[in-house]
Amino acid sequence: MGLIVVSNREPYAPKRGEAGQLAWVPSIGGLTAALDPALQRSGGTWIAWGEERPEVGEVDLPQGAPRYRLKRLRLSEAEVRDFYYGFANRALWPMSHYFIGRATYQTSTWRTYVNVNRRFAQAAVESFRTGDLIWVHDYQLALVPRLIREALPGARIGFFWHIPWPSTEVFRTLPWDRELLEGLLGADLIGMHTDEYVAHFLSACRRVLGAETEGNTVRWQGRESRVVARPIGIEVETYEALAANPEVEEAADRIRRTLQTQILLGVDRLDYTKGIPERLEAFDAFLDRYPEARRRVTLLQIAVPSRERVESYRQLRAQVEGLVGRINGKHTRDGWSPVQYIYRGVPREELVAHYRAADVMLVTPLRDGLNLVAKEFVASSRDGVLILSRFAGAADELPEALQVNPYNVDGLAEALLEALRMPLDEKKARLQRLRERLRQSDLHAWAEGFLRELAGT
């Protein structure tokens, strides 16, 4: 029994070596870390968009000891514009995160979305061998399960939706709400991160389609689909080992020596869902309310570039950098600047060093499907405090974090004070309980568990 994985992003990226040869380097991210080992064990095919070096259609991976095939789809500039930047990220992404005012629903981008989903589905059908499991991932490919089902009625198909599933009132603003649900219900097993998302999805099936639901099962057009909450984990042991690495610890010490204050840390893609402006406003309010914290506390904000071709993301960058400048101009004293702002991607070792250096981790999205940064911090931190938005999917799993409403600037400012004043024994006790939760369901257990469930459908 083999495995076919279908995702927008590919697990390995092509890089040109010093001698000019093409090397395939594992992509950083939970999906690659979880499913690359599973595919290496079972054999099969990973189907994805070949964003870089698109002329390479197929490659056997890993190099040197190949265990499965990567089938790379070549998308035209128009397809990338309308499928990825257009429908996926200007319609589905904002709608799913409750930002209806940012959603743009255009028939032209929807048609391209349908056509590109059809291409992914066809690639999966061509790769299928009797007995294979098919696992499709995320909002970019929501129509793929039904398209595969039409060609392979007996196939076992799983789907995982990695972002929030919104309330039905919000979901119904999508002009193609029926089509999206029907696409997903081509899967036998549909996974989401939280029970709340599952409940919203079941509600949408009833109210939009008129489907019958019983427990977590949807009955529609003679088929049954199970919908389950299975939050993704992280590689806990990997982060613990990195945190214990002497070079990482020395890097953390350098960060502390450079700033010479208590450190509040934020690490986010620069996305309007992440609540970075609200976080900065809360820190400004904190310094206004507690001026004695000046020169004693620094907010270190790492913003990872994201979707720079999209105008709204460029505007967000300007807004964030304007806020950083205003706060620093207002509060800077004697060589101390309250906000240190880094706009670039950060390698994992450097990221863990920042986790180790931080006294308080701020994970305060306005809405987030899960948020793995919160889990990475818990696995890496020495004795830090996690402040976590109640609107992050991870909040259900991490009750020992200080949970906040990121829209409440004053409440977030007060949470900063509570975290900075928390006794050491309480900080360590909270972290210990959080780590125990992470170990119970790590990244590999998530993948293996979902595939077992799918095989049993």
Confidence (pTM):
0.96
Model confidence pLDDT, tens digit, residues 106-143? 999 999 999 999 999 999 999 999 999 999 999 999 99
336, 450: one domain:
no
412 contacts: CB under 8 Å, gap ≥ 6: 278, 279, 282, 364, 387, 404, 405, 406
- Pairwise CA distance, residues 216 & 197, whole Å: 12
Domain hosting 83: range is 3-232+444-455
Domain count, the chain: 2
435, 315: one domain:
yes
- Pairwise CA distance, residues 185 & 419, whole Å: 44
Q: Are the CB atoms for 216 and 188 separated by under 8 Å? A: no
192, 248: one domain:
no
Instruction: Name the phi and psi angles at 225, rounded to 5.
Output: -130, 135
215, 72: one domain:
yes
Spans of the chain below 50 pLDDT: none
20, 115: one domain:
yes
Instruction: Name the phi and psi angles at 389, rounded to 5.
Output: -65, 140
212, 266: one domain:
no
Per-residue model confidence (pLDDT) at position 193? 98
276, 139: one domain:
no
Terminal-to-terminal C-alpha distance of the chain: 14
Tokens of 149: 């089902």
Per-residue model confidence (pLDDT) at position 213? 99
336, 194: one domain:
no
Per-residue model confidence (pLDDT) at position 195? 98
The residues that are catalytic are 162, 368
- Pairwise CA distance, residues 97 & 92, whole Å: 9
- Pairwise CA distance, residues 305 & 292, whole Å: 33
Beta pairing, strands 223-229 & 262-269: unpaired
Model confidence pLDDT, tens digit, residues 85-111? 999 999 999 999 999 999 999 999 999
Q: Which of 68, 186, 60, 176 is nearest to 120 (CA)?
A: 186
Q: Are the CB atoms for 211 and 220 separated by under 8 Å? A: yes
CATH number for 252: 3.40.50.2000
